[in-house]
Chain A
Amino acid sequence: MIKTREIKDIVFPGDKIETGQLKPRNGIQRGEESNCTSQYFGVVQKGEEFIDVVPFNGSYSPRRGDKIIGKVLDVGPSMWTIDMKSPYLVMLHMNDTPWKTYSGELRKFLVPGDYIFAKIMNLNEVKESWITMKEPGIGLRKLEGGTIISVPSPKVPRIIGKNGAMINMVKDATSTRIIIGQNGLIWIDGEPEHVQKAVEAIKIIEREAHTIGLTERMTQFLKDNKGENHGNAQ
């Protein structure tokens, strides 16, 4: 059965946005005389204070302080080259890691193909950025084991939910460990069937990020599918 589902307002590049009392923020171009237009093909999202246009697709644009998941591409004498699914490659210097490293011995710690969870430390006008793994207490590390999946970065906030509500729900229901990078890479670890369930849930959130009432539907979905978690064991 196919039911019509309510969706948020869809806008196109150049469309006028009625901001009302809200302040325009991401994805909105401010013209003269509070004439606001959309920069993206996406949905309008109204918060308590701000109004945004969230695109359906798009690459990750690095911001200072974001925690991201990156893939090691290359090892140099004192730096690793990291791909974080943005238009730009990023460097990780050996002094920005928690390990005691020496120049030329970087391969002992990270080799091409490894994934890391790191934080964007610095960013300049031409979008060159540097990342660090040194800050303690926020879980920055090399990601060992687990599965990596990729979603468009504009969908990340919806997958995390308000204060992590959505992702915690998925974690609890599927008993997996999940780390989300702001750039749209997601690391999931746990029993294979649990991981599979979590991936399925995240794909649904990704596909329906622009619909209304998604949280309730996900609660129901995860509740209904809980019983299958141990299906393979029997």
Chain B
Amino acid sequence: MGTPSDMKLIDENGRRLDGRGDEELRPIRITTDVLQRADGSVLMEWGGNKIMVAVYGPREAYPKHTQDIEKAVIKARYNMAAFSVDERKRPGPDRRSTEISKVISEALSAAVMVEKFPRTQIDVFIEVLQADAGTRIASLTAASVAIAAAGIPMRDMVVGCAVGKVEGRIVLDLSKDEDNFGQADVPMAVLSKGKEVVLLQMDGDLTMEEFDMATSMVLNASERIAEIQRNALVEKYKGENYPEIEGSEE
């Protein structure tokens, strides 16, 4: 963050490195039910990110001391594959992934109706296969789709996006280089209808005005991302996907 560099991140026409405008998102593709044995699963492709999410449960929470007599506990586990980044990542949990698991669990707990399933746990396994900036928000957005696909009751869907400051400008959905050499990175997630903020972190500095602008950009983008989430869920159940039953034609 803020590493001095002579790399030009925004060209004279105001285009970013990958040719995007300030408020343009990278291409997002969500595929549901990719794993047979999971209750709900999603493959998320967001720019260069490739993330697999599997949801299991609700099921009785073990070890027993983790049970909550009043509600379900959401156990999200964010894990990066050794091959997901340029230089091999030492496998296993580390400070960063423990933190991300925690903030994702908390964000999801705000959306899922945990009070309906006392004493249980909902497992959310997040495997980052390829990382390219903004994985925590992509994981959370994907996890929300996987939970909906698993038929777990929710108040609202969770949708997120990162926003940051690059060469003094506020831009949406940072890419790897913008993240590394930009001045600020703000991942933010909201409930898709209620617009309540469920995840907000900031690396770097923004002025109040810049922050307000960043917030409104994320809220704006959340509508677009929510639409992608909905299309992904409904894909499997569309009418035209059902061929006529054999023999039922006259």
A103 close to chain B: CB less than 8 A: no
A15 close to chain B: CB less than 8 A: yes
Within 8 A of A (CB), among B109-159: 111, 113, 116-120, 148-157
B239 in complex: contacting residue of A7, A15, A88, A89, CB < 8 Å: A7
- Give Cα A3–Cα B245 distance, bound, in whole angstroms: 10
B39 close to chain A: CB less than 8 A: yes
Verify B247–A87 contact, CB threshold 8 A: no
Identify which of B3-11, B55-63, B93-101, B201-209 touches chain A: B55-63
Q: Distance (Å) between the CB of B152 and the closest chain A CB?
A: 7
Verify A41–B247 contact, CB threshold 8 A: no
Q: A1-B243, A4-B239 are in contact. Are A14 and B157 (CB under 8 A)?
A: yes
Verify A29–B245 contact, CB threshold 8 A: no
B103 close to chain A: CB less than 8 A: no
Verify B154–A127 contact, CB threshold 8 A: no
B153 in complex: contacting residue of A27, A88, A152, CB < 8 Å: A27
Identify which of B16-24, B174-182, B190-198, B217-225 touches chain A: B190-198
B113 in complex: contacting residue of A39, A88, A204, A220, CB < 8 Å: A39
Verify A41–B60 contact, CB threshold 8 A: no
Q: Distance (Å) between the CB of A183 and the closest chain B CB?
A: 14
CB-CB under 8 A from A57, the residues of chain B are 39-40, 149-151
Q: Which residue of A lies closest to B192 (CB)?
A: A14
A99 close to chain B: CB less than 8 A: no
Verify B240–A2 contact, CB threshold 8 A: yes
Chain A 32-44 interface 0/1 with B at a Cβ cutoff of 8 Å (1 = within): 0000010111100
Q: A5-B242, A13-B155 are in contact. Are A126 and B58 (CB under 8 A)?
A: no
Q: Distance (Å) between the CB of B86 and the closest chain A CB?
A: 37
Verify B152–A5 contact, CB threshold 8 A: no
B249 close to chain A: CB less than 8 A: yes
Q: How many residues on the B side are at the interface (Cβ–Cβ under 8 A)?
A: 44
Verify A41–B243 contact, CB threshold 8 A: no
A148 close to chain B: CB less than 8 A: no
Verify A41–B233 contact, CB threshold 8 A: yes
CB-CB under 8 A from A109, the residues of chain B are none
- Give Cα A27–Cα B237 distance, bound, in whole angstroms: 19
A1 in complex: contacting residue of B113, B155, B249, CB < 8 Å: B249
A221 in complex: contacting residue of B148, B156, B229, B247, CB < 8 Å: B247
CB-CB under 8 A from A39, the residues of chain B are 113, 153-155
A121 close to chain B: CB less than 8 A: no
Verify B240–A4 contact, CB threshold 8 A: yes
Verify B191–A14 contact, CB threshold 8 A: yes
Chain A 56-85 interface 0/1 with B at a Cβ cutoff of 8 Å (1 = within): 111101000000000000000000000000
Verify B118–A59 contact, CB threshold 8 A: no
CB-CB under 8 A from B40, the residues of chain A are 57
CB-CB under 8 A from A41, the residues of chain B are 148-149, 151, 233
A87 in complex: contacting residue of B111, B120, B237, B238, CB < 8 Å: B120
Q: A14-B194, A89-B60, A126-B69 are in contact. Are A221 and B245 (CB under 8 A)?
A: yes
Q: Which residue of B lies closest to A128 (CB)?
A: B119
Verify A152–B151 contact, CB threshold 8 A: yes
Verify A221–B243 contact, CB threshold 8 A: no
B151 in complex: contacting residue of A4, A58, A87, A207, CB < 8 Å: A58
- Give Cα A210–Cα B244 distance, bound, in whole angstroms: 15
B118 in complex: contacting residue of A12, A27, A126, A221, CB < 8 Å: A126
A225 close to chain B: CB less than 8 A: yes
Q: A41-B148, A89-B60 are in contact. Are A12 and B239 (CB under 8 A)?
A: no
- Give Cα A225–Cα B247 distance, bound, in whole angstroms: 8
* Most chain B CB inside 10 Å of its own CB: which residue of A10, A41, A220: A41
Known contacts A57-B39, A58-B151; 4 further A-B pairs (Cβ under 8 A): A37-B156, A41-B151, A217-B245, A217-B248
Give 25 CB contacts A-B under 8 Å: A1-B249, A2-B243, A14-B191, A29-B113, A37-B156, A37-B193, A39-B153, A39-B155, A40-B151, A40-B153, A41-B151, A57-B149, A57-B151, A58-B152, A59-B151, A88-B60, A126-B69, A126-B118, A127-B117, A127-B119, A220-B245, A220-B247, A221-B246, A224-B246, A224-B247
Residues of A at the B interface (CB closer than 8 Å) are 1-7, 10, 12-15, 27, 29, 37, 39-42, 55-59, 61, 87-89, 125-127, 152, 154, 204, 207-208, 210-211, 217, 220-221, 224-225
